[in-house]
Chain A
Amino acid sequence: MAEGSNYDFLFKVVLIGDSGVGKSNLLSRFTRNEFNLESKSTIGVEFATRSINVDGKTVKAQIWDTAGQERYRAITSAYYRGAVGALLVYDIAKHATYVNVTRWLKELRDHADSNIVIMLVGNKSDLKHLRAVPTEEAKAFSTENGLSFIETSALDASNVEAAFQNILTDIYRIVSSKSLEQSADPIKPPTETLNVSTAEPAQNQGGKCC
């Protein structure tokens, strides 16, 4: 694709989470509804991109939406390759989608670069009266697992901008301080922080891979 060189950094960010939590919605808000659905030829939907400014540098975000493919549990792993950030979205009005966050985290830890920056996003904060996941609980969970956390509403657009801005800034900070280890091998055992409610603590002994 015609990527102009008008950016300083290009970050790949994946959008994951259960079906129906509003991933595409967030994306269309953030990219101002500029899906490349319009693209003429056979390419189909491109990942959406948008550039933002961090510390005077232009950071271009490529956001890969997995919406609609949640039924393929296996497929998302293909999306993780080369991703430096992940927005893990759940629906604050549907507790099941929050419970599944554990599964998604596990998958990320299994398949993505161990340095990937993860942000937990509680979407649909406009549905206050239907809230099923208390903000405090999610916040505590995030701290415990080393994630950043934000609640958004794609409907009234609140915090959508901030969510992306935050994660891209975080990534930028990491990249500019020490460049992300471009280890060819993304495999690391799950870290100890993955102590989540129902799931048994992940096994964490076992050698770093060669």
Chain B
Amino acid sequence: MMSTPRPHVRQTLHLSIDPSPYEPPPMSLSPPSSNSPPSSLMSSTTASSSTADSSTMPTATFPIIYSVLCLHDFDSDDPDHLPFSKNEILEIVKQEESGWWAAMRKGFTRVGWIPRAYVQPLSEEMADKLWNVREELRAYEYSAEQLYNTAPIATSVQIYDPPRRQPSRKQSTDVASDLWRIANKRAREDQERILSEDRALPASPSMLAAINKPTPPTPREERHRSNSSPSHRSGSSRDKRDANNVTSPKVSVDKIKQLTGSEDAVDWVIARQNSLMPWYLRPQYADQLRLDKDGNIRMATLPALVERLATPQNTKALASEESFRDAFLMTFRTFTTADTLFEMLVDRFRMNPPDDLTADSQFNEWKEKKLQPTRNRVLTVFTVWLEDHRLLEEEPHIAQRLTDFLRLITPPSQLAGVANLIIEKIQSLTFSPPQIFSPGTPKRKDKNWAEVELAKQDPANIAEQLCLLEFKLYSRISPQECLRSAKTKAHGDIANLTAFCATYDRLSAWVKMSILTSDMLSKRASTVDFWIKVAEKCKQLNNHASMSALINGLMSTVIQRLHLTWAHSHRKQTLEALVRFNEPTGGFHAYRTLLQATEGPCVPFIGMYLTDISHIHEQYSDETITTAISTHSSSSSSSLISSSFINPTPSNGSSKEPFICFQKRQRWYELISFMLKFQKRPYNIAESETTQIFISNHLTHTTSKDTAWFWNKSQEVQHLEMENADIRRGLEEAGFLNS
């Protein structure tokens, strides 16, 4: 795989992996040579090094530069490597440009190499925080924390985990859907293999044909490897290996200083690399990109975004590239149409060589380093769009156009195979829609619950069946609907979102109705208690949507005013403990905190996210950006400098293209991903047909009553209660009642 001999290629690297995160050749830094095996790099106490990856990284004294969170399992038999599992926190003692970093476990002395792409650097604060989190929850906690950080950070974690990335779910017994999933994965792997045989790893955004040195694996490969073999190794064997490999720390301070690069240097190198790149390889619209200090896109024109999308990037962060692609594909409909995007991608695929190429060598280089990678990339984008971003659901007509386009890619083109795979994929998706959300367990035949009155129902059963009902509704909500909800004008359909929200109101109305129509005080009180039990159970099942609706009903004015009923309730305290989750204070702070800690199947309450979506819409406006740009072109904004540094030549694109605030889309993407992330984890609860009928009958029934009915009925009941209270009091005074 490597052709150019490089003196400093480490002999210790045996992994045969395609080039992935591209790292420029170090300028002033020299990585370990073959004579100095990396394992000899040991913690020395004197050297000081600093890393300056923007502001997020703390500067510390050698040996420990900072901590990282492991996002994936890393297994390796190489004694120089440090295998680790997801969620561990390791300490980095040295960074190397190749993407291999030297790390150790806290409290241990063994240092080994780890692939940078598998881990996420942590700020000191974050590391402290995560140390206090249960190990298996760390990655989750970290991504949750990231969500609310304003500026997207340098390497944002993949939060929206599209279906392809999930391992086939064991809990689902639905054979058909499993088969589909497996087939799906296999096709994808085939495709990736074909692409990588072309010497271009499509899914890894960062590669340049020029790389000729071994680079660390990226999590994607790791997934493949763990697919082929069970990735669980026994802990004991690892411990043994650890013990065998404790080497004595001995390395010269100077050497480490020399070796340890700062991230600033890397930035500089990349920028320089770019400016040294022959003109015909440079991005055409780079001057229409505005980046923040972490290299994320703040705003850009559409051509610049599409170019970015279709160009393998030589940035450091693989994760942020994937996140860009996913964010783009989720949100592009807010600034362009599917047809325009399709055409622009096809144009990039068919791009012509620049007119003024003077030599054949230039043409060949252009072809090899620009055209080919772009083509691979365009096909990858189509695949991701198709598989993870609902191309068939949202714009079925594009599928036909895409098929027509792909049919034109025929041998001898190396991409013909890939094109064919995508066509097959389109067909398989069209004819067998995925049944991801099919219930995990067969339907349950039991007592005819539909006939039974509410008070005799089992609260746990009702709660469970509510879970299924709500999950079904929740899982149908598409990201597009959420985005549309932010638009002031109703663009298109948001039926699923509306249905989900409407169920909240109906459930709440059912609670009110069932209490108000109970004719006796004791019956009302027990109905109240019944619903509190259901709410409690819903909380246990993480069905927050129902829980919130039930609390809402119980806390409504029309129920709260029935003081005597409440006096006879036995579970008031339980309710009081739940009420805080319905408090809007601090944007539902209490509830958000609950949600952060929630794992496993869940139906979240999404009200406050809808507010967040419209606030993001309000906060980042496309119009203000356009004006800001025109006024601020002469200012010394760092982003302008950096982007012009990356591409000193002015693009030939006209400046009339409006700028799109991509930051806004990025935030939408993060938010919506979080909001919908539980869609992939269905409940493993058997469906009881009769209870479902019982529930849906009652929910439908509530629509027959308007708010006036509730108000009047409540007043009526309240009157009765007060009259009865007088009678009771009279009886008590007469000695007929002892209470």
Note all chain B residues with C-beta closer than 8 A to A39.
148
Note all chain B residues with C-beta closer than 8 A to A73.
505
Tell me whether A45 and B556 are in contact in the complex, defined as CB-CB below 8 angstroms, given that A74-B505, A110-B711 are known contacts. no
Please tell me if the beta carbons of A42 and B596 are within 8 angstroms of each other in the complex.
yes
A202 to B560, CA, bound (A): 20
Please tell me if the beta carbons of A200 and B587 are within 8 angstroms of each other in the complex.
no
Please tell me if the beta carbons of A65 and B611 are within 8 angstroms of each other in the complex.
yes
A81 to B718, CA, bound (A): 21
A206 to B561, CA, bound (A): 13
Q: Which residue of B lies closest to A45 (CB)?
A: B587
Please tell me if the beta carbons of A77 and B557 are within 8 angstroms of each other in the complex.
yes
Tell me whether A42 and B619 are in contact in the complex, defined as CB-CB below 8 angstroms, given that A22-B488, A77-B557 are known contacts. no
Please tell me if the beta carbons of A44 and B556 are within 8 angstroms of each other in the complex.
no
Q: Cβ of B707 < 8 Å from any Cβ of A?
A: yes
- Counting chain A CB atoms within 10 Å of each CB, the highest count among B504, B596, B618 belongs to B618
Report which of B509, B587, B614, B708 forms a contact with A24, defined as CB distance below 8 A. Answer: B614
Tell me whether A46 and B586 are in contact in the complex, defined as CB-CB below 8 angstroms, given that A69-B611, A207-B722 are known contacts. yes
Please tell me if the beta carbons of A43 and B592 are within 8 angstroms of each other in the complex.
yes
Please tell me if the beta carbons of B587 and A72 are within 8 angstroms of each other in the complex.
no
Q: Cβ of A66 < 8 Å from any Cβ of B?
A: yes
Note all chain A residues with C-beta closer than 8 A to B149.
40
Please tell me if the beta carbons of B611 and A210 are within 8 angstroms of each other in the complex.
no
Q: Which residue of B lies closest to A209 (CB)?
A: B561
A189 to B716, CA, bound (A): 12
Q: Which residue of B lies closest to A69 (CB)?
A: B607
Q: Cβ of B497 < 8 Å from any Cβ of A?
A: yes
Q: Cβ of A75 < 8 Å from any Cβ of B?
A: yes
In B131-188, the 8 Å CB interface with A consists of 144-145, 147-150
Instruction: State the Cβ distance, B622 to closest chain A Cβ, in Å.
Output: 14
Note all chain B residues with C-beta closer than 8 A to A71.
485, 497-498, 501-502, 610
A110 to B704, CA, bound (A): 19
Report which of B586, B615, B711 forms a contact with A43, defined as CB distance below 8 A. Answer: B586
- Counting chain A CB atoms within 10 Å of each CB, the highest count among B488, B498, B593, B608 belongs to B488
Report which of A22, A72, A77, A202 forms a contact with B607, defined as CB distance below 8 A. Answer: A72
Please tell me if the beta carbons of A68 and B612 are within 8 angstroms of each other in the complex.
yes
Please tell me if the beta carbons of A68 and B561 are within 8 angstroms of each other in the complex.
no
Instruction: State the Cβ distance, A10 to closest chain B Cβ, in Å.
Output: 13
Please tell me if the beta carbons of B557 and A25 are within 8 angstroms of each other in the complex.
no
Q: Cβ of A177 < 8 Å from any Cβ of B?
A: no
Note all chain B residues with C-beta closer than 8 A to A66.
611
Binds A, one of B59-67, B384-392, B394-402, B547-555: B547-555
Q: Cβ of A141 < 8 Å from any Cβ of B?
A: no
Instruction: State the Cβ distance, A134 to closest chain B Cβ, in Å.
Output: 22
Instruction: State the Cβ distance, A85 to closest chain B Cβ, in Å.
Output: 16
A interface majority secondary structure: loop
Instruction: State the Cβ distance, A56 to closest chain B Cβ, in Å.
Output: 30
Note all chain B residues with C-beta closer than 8 A to A35.
615, 618-619
Note all chain B residues with C-beta closer than 8 A to A202.
708, 711
Note all chain A residues with C-beta closer than 8 A to B592.
42-44
Q: Cβ of B198 < 8 Å from any Cβ of A?
A: no
Please tell me if the beta carbons of A78 and B552 are within 8 angstroms of each other in the complex.
yes
A107 to B124, CA, bound (A): 49
Tell me whether A40 and B148 are in contact in the complex, defined as CB-CB below 8 angstroms, given that A45-B611, A67-B615, A69-B607 are known contacts. yes
In A147-203, the 8 Å CB interface with B consists of 185-187, 189-190, 199-200, 202-203
Q: Cβ of B588 < 8 Å from any Cβ of A?
A: yes
Q: Which residue of A lies closest to B591 (CB)?
A: A44
A20 to B226, CA, bound (A): 49
Count residues of A near B (Cβ-Cβ below 8 Å): 52
Report which of B489, B557, B608, B719 forms a contact with A45, defined as CB distance below 8 A. Answer: B608
A185 to B560, CA, bound (A): 9
A39 to B619, CA, bound (A): 14
A111 to B710, CA, bound (A): 12
Please tell me if the beta carbons of B504 and A75 are within 8 angstroms of each other in the complex.
yes
Report which of B552, B618, B619, B708 forms a contact with A74, defined as CB distance below 8 A. Answer: B552
- Counting chain B CB atoms within 10 Å of each CB, the highest count among A24, A40, A77 belongs to A24
Q: Cβ of A100 < 8 Å from any Cβ of B?
A: no
Please tell me if the beta carbons of A72 and B615 are within 8 angstroms of each other in the complex.
no
A48 to B252, CA, bound (A): 56
- Counting chain B CB atoms within 10 Å of each CB, the highest count among A41, A44, A73 belongs to A44
- Counting chain A CB atoms within 10 Å of each CB, the highest count among B488, B502, B615 belongs to B615
Count residues of B near A (Cβ-Cβ below 8 Å): 62
Tell me whether A44 and B587 are in contact in the complex, defined as CB-CB below 8 angstroms, given that A71-B501, A189-B715 are known contacts. yes
A44 to B148, CA, bound (A): 7
Note all chain A residues with C-beta closer than 8 A to B718.
206-207, 209
Please tell me if the beta carbons of B561 and A43 are within 8 angstroms of each other in the complex.
no
Please tell me if the beta carbons of B490 and A20 are within 8 angstroms of each other in the complex.
yes
Instruction: State the Cβ distance, B334 to closest chain A Cβ, in Å.
Output: 16
A22 to B489, CA, bound (A): 11
In B595-612, the 8 Å CB interface with A consists of 596, 607-612
Q: Cβ of A64 < 8 Å from any Cβ of B?
A: yes
Q: Cβ of A58 < 8 Å from any Cβ of B?
A: no
Q: Cβ of B508 < 8 Å from any Cβ of A?
A: yes
A152 to B615, CA, bound (A): 19
Note all chain A residues with C-beta closer than 8 A to B561.
185, 187, 209
A206 to B505, CA, bound (A): 26
Q: Cβ of B493 < 8 Å from any Cβ of A?
A: no
A1 to B556, CA, bound (A): 27
Instruction: State the Cβ distance, B154 to closest chain A Cβ, in Å.
Output: 16
Note all chain B residues with C-beta closer than 8 A to A53.
none
Please tell me if the beta carbons of B611 and A68 are within 8 angstroms of each other in the complex.
yes
Tell me whether A41 and B145 are in contact in the complex, defined as CB-CB below 8 angstroms, given that A35-B615, A74-B553, A75-B552 are known contacts. yes
Please tell me if the beta carbons of B489 and A33 are within 8 angstroms of each other in the complex.
no
Instruction: State the Cβ distance, A64 to closest chain B Cβ, in Å.
Output: 6
Q: Cβ of B712 < 8 Å from any Cβ of A?
A: yes
Note all chain B residues with C-beta closer than 8 A to A41.
145, 148
Please tell me if the beta carbons of B553 and A78 are within 8 angstroms of each other in the complex.
no
0/1 interface trace, chain B 609-631, chain A, CB 8 Å (1 if under): 11111111111000000000000
Q: Cβ of B444 < 8 Å from any Cβ of A?
A: no
Please tell me if the beta carbons of B489 and A77 are within 8 angstroms of each other in the complex.
no
A38 to B612, CA, bound (A): 12
Instruction: State the Cβ distance, B665 to closest chain A Cβ, in Å.
Output: 15
Tell me whether A187 and B587 are in contact in the complex, defined as CB-CB below 8 angstroms, given that A40-B150, A206-B715 are known contacts. no
Tell me whether A111 and B612 are in contact in the complex, defined as CB-CB below 8 angstroms, given that A35-B619, A74-B549, A207-B722 are known contacts. no
Q: Cβ of A130 < 8 Å from any Cβ of B?
A: no
A33 to B617, CA, bound (A): 12
0/1 interface trace, chain A 9-44, chain B, CB 8 Å (1 if under): 000000000001010110110000101011111111
Q: Which residue of B lies closest to A77 (CB)?
A: B556
A210 to B721, CA, bound (A): 11
Q: Cβ of B354 < 8 Å from any Cβ of A?
A: no
Note all chain A residues with C-beta closer than 8 A to B617.
24
Please tell me if the beta carbons of B619 and A28 are within 8 angstroms of each other in the complex.
yes
A79 to B588, CA, bound (A): 10
Note all chain B residues with C-beta closer than 8 A to A47.
585-587
Q: Cβ of B539 < 8 Å from any Cβ of A?
A: no
Q: Cβ of A106 < 8 Å from any Cβ of B?
A: yes
A65 to B718, CA, bound (A): 32
Q: Cβ of B563 < 8 Å from any Cβ of A?
A: yes
Report which of A27, A37, A43, A203 forms a contact with B715, defined as CB distance below 8 A. Answer: A203
Known: A28-B618, A68-B607. 17 other contacts (CB 8 A): A45-B608, A45-B611, A47-B585, A47-B587, A68-B613, A72-B504, A72-B505, A77-B552, A77-B557, A106-B707, A110-B557, A111-B556, A189-B715, A190-B711, A203-B712, A206-B718, A209-B718
A-B contact pairs, 9 of them (CB 8 A): A35-B615, A37-B612, A40-B150, A41-B148, A44-B148, A46-B586, A67-B610, A72-B607, A74-B505
The 8 A-B residue pairs whose C-beta atoms are closest, nearest first, are A68-B610, A71-B501, A45-B587, A44-B587, A68-B614, A68-B611, A20-B488, A74-B508
Q: Which residues of A line the B interface, CB within 8 A?
A: 1, 20, 22, 24-25, 27-28, 33, 35, 37-47, 64-69, 71-75, 77-79, 103, 106-107, 110-111, 185-187, 189-190, 199-200, 202-203, 206-207, 209-210
